[in-house]
Structure 1
Amino acid sequence: MKYKVLFLKELDVSGKQILWDDGAEIIVAGGHSEDVFIKEIREHQVDAIMCRTEIVTPAMMDASPNLKVIAKHGVGLDNINVEYATKKGIQVVYAPLGNYNSVAEHVIMLMLMAARRYKHVDREFRSGNFDVRYTLQDTFELEGLTLGILGCGRIGQIIANKAALGFGMNVIGYDPYARQESMKAPVKLLENRDDVLARADFISLNLPSLPSTRGSMNYAAFQRMKPKAFFINCSRGDVVVEADLIKALQEGLILGAGLDVFDKEPIEYANPMLEMDNVIMTPHTAATTRQAVVRCCTTAARGIMEVMNGKPITFPGNKID
């Protein structure tokens, strides 16, 4: 008998093909609200859920007694109530190796765009000011500057490699769970976050959304940064107090920012950062390269297949007794 998988949104066919080849029936949700998801889960009595950024709630998990696995197309599990899933004996799987290089490259791109004041230059050029180059101030080469990494896990270390080996940057970092001897990248770990904030020309935030991290980049943190430093965030929006970041930019506490994630997504279009020439913004696209999408989708699909066939789980997101 086929097992049923509900995709909460349309995803790449590469993952579907793996599941089809395993005999699965795939249903794609016909809407984006929790009510629609619950209706589809209950109607089809699905065995598995595939999600991307959609929130998977306890009510959704309760809608099908057949539910055995929730697969995340990506890395962070903050959109899934993992604690409740574990309590119900539902396995969570994810794709921790899927998008790390894509995100790291995006961080470097935002750093370059910020350092060269890309948004300002592009706007002036398109308005007819070809001579904008003669009036530019505060543009920088990356070589010789210091990158501070907050969160030195897999993505943080890939960024460090690209920054140090590719651009000749000095890299320092802070991560309470990391050890210098375990670093696979040329990053010097410092004992406290404030020292990283104070010494870096760029800060790259690479933290998950956890009770201990949410709101940790606040006004006091921005006050500790250099006045000509840039803040880059391609991790999670709620780690930053966005109003404090806006205030820091408006007051000139920092020189600029490059952001791919926001506290509220989709972003509110009254957000003043949209009009700031010193802020580069992308709509949560750091992980959307073709290679990353395929890796995430196929890894998550294989996770479903492993659970449904009783095989060892390659990337478990929780531990089921």
Structure 2
Amino acid sequence: MSKNAVAVLEPGYANYKTEEAVLEHHGTAVVAVKEQDDAVSSLKDINPVAVMVRERTVSAAEMETCPNLKVIVRYGVGVDNIDLDYARGRGIYVANVPNYGAEIEVSEHAVALYLAVQRRIVQRDRDVRNGQWGIGEAEPIPGRFNAVLGLIGCGRIGLEAAHKFKALGFKYILAFDPFLDSATAEEEGIELVDIDTLCAKADVITLHAPLNDHTRHILNRDRIDLLKPSSIVVNVSRGGLVDEQALADALNDGRIFGAGIDVFEQEPIASDNPLLQCSNTVISDHTAWYSERSVGVLQHNAAMEINRVLQGGVPQNWVNKW
């Protein structure tokens, strides 16, 4: 194996020619570890200087087996699947890739999920194919005139979502985000509110926050109970932001109108996940970020972080600083 081997955990891309092109001057071999293969034993055999990962866990056990490991790069933004403290203690850089332009794709997906739920598109498609017609009044659809959008998290993706929902006619945009400054909020026509106020007032809630100890189950049972009967929840961020059982209970009891969910606490989604049995719920497979364009940029930018470290520098998006 190359002395500068790079291991890719949980491969999911068509190929790794982009990474190889960026790193070829280091004599690097990019080695994909199959999803069904044990990560610890595979990494021991590869002995990589760098690990690239999507959703798979990189704990102390995985890092302990890699004595030459210098850097871990997360394909994407969230790094809750990586043991940052252990990496810091070993002097292993951890970087993410927040700037691959997926705010366009993710915000589009949020709108697509909203519209599919709002207009009952999936149900209508199924019913018409099964010979039913003219059933609209049997399944009422609330109007959204002068509607209120609630953003939980309002960074690049949240702001892009706000623009798109405004174009759909949403008149009021509320946001809960401790890191959004008031000047930007005012410029964007966004009202900063506390989380409970947002839940009580919003017609549609979209989640765009990172997952950490402060945000896990930020949409919990108590806050779901604050939602309007006509409200829709859209999650295109991280599954752990939502108490899935509480959301499923509200959907099944008819206490909220619907939900569009792209991310889950356990992925791939478990067959007994309660959201799979909910009515007026549209589900996708953590694909909001994806387009051919975004994948190419993501792979290139991830490889550039490794390139910086192998050249003796530090990652541009270094998340576990010491």
TM-score by shorter chain over 0.5: yes
Q: Which of 146, 149, 152 is matched with 2:148 structurally?
A: 146
Conserved 8 A contact 1:6-1:29:
yes
Q: Which of 206, 209, 231 is matched with 1:207 structurally?
A: 209
Taking the TM superposition and a 5 Å limit, the aligned residue runs for 1:147-226 are: 147-164=149-166, 166-169=167-170, 170-183=172-185, 186-226=188-228
Give the distance between the partners of 2:189 and 2:262, measured in 1 at CA.
23
Q: Which amino acid aligns with 2:128?
A: F
Cα drift, residue 273 of structure 1: 2.9
Taking the TM superposition and a 5 Å limit, the aligned residue runs for 1:118-157 are: 118-133=121-136, 135-140=138-143, 144-157=146-159
Conserved 8 A contact 1:214-1:240:
yes
Q: Which of 88, 93, 115 is matched with 1:112 structurally?
A: 115
Conserved 8 A contact 1:19-1:305:
yes
Give the distance between the partners of 1:280 and 1:188, measured in 2 at CA.
27
Conserved 8 A contact 2:233-2:260:
yes
Give the distance between the partners of 2:176 and 2:34, measured in 1 at CA.
43
Conserved 8 A contact 2:3-2:48:
no
Q: Which residue of 2 aligns with 1:17?
A: 21
Give the distance between the partners of 1:194 and 1:28, measured in 2 at CA.
44
- Alpha-carbon distance change, 26 to 122 in structure 1, aligned in 2, over 3 angstroms: same
- TM-score normalized by the length of structure 2: 0.91
Q: Which of 73, 94, 101 is matched with 1:92 structurally?
A: 94
Equivalent pairs: percent with the same residue? 32
Moved more, 261-270 or 291-300: 261-270
- Per-residue CA shift, 1:219-265, capped at 9, x if unaligned? 21111111101011111111211111111112222111000111222
Q: Which of 246, 251, 265 is matched with 1:249 structurally?
A: 251
Q: Which amino acid aligns with 2:104?
A: N
Q: Which residue of 2 aligns with 1:258?
A: 260
Moved more, 115-124 or 130-139: 130-139
Q: Which residue of 2 aligns with 1:302?
A: 304
Moved more, 305-314 or 53-62: 305-314
Structure 2: unaligned runs, 5 residues or longer: none
Conserved 8 A contact 2:248-2:278:
no
Structure 1: unaligned runs, 5 residues or longer: none
Q: Which residue of 2 aligns with 1:102?
A: 105
Report how many aligned residue pairs link the two structures.
316
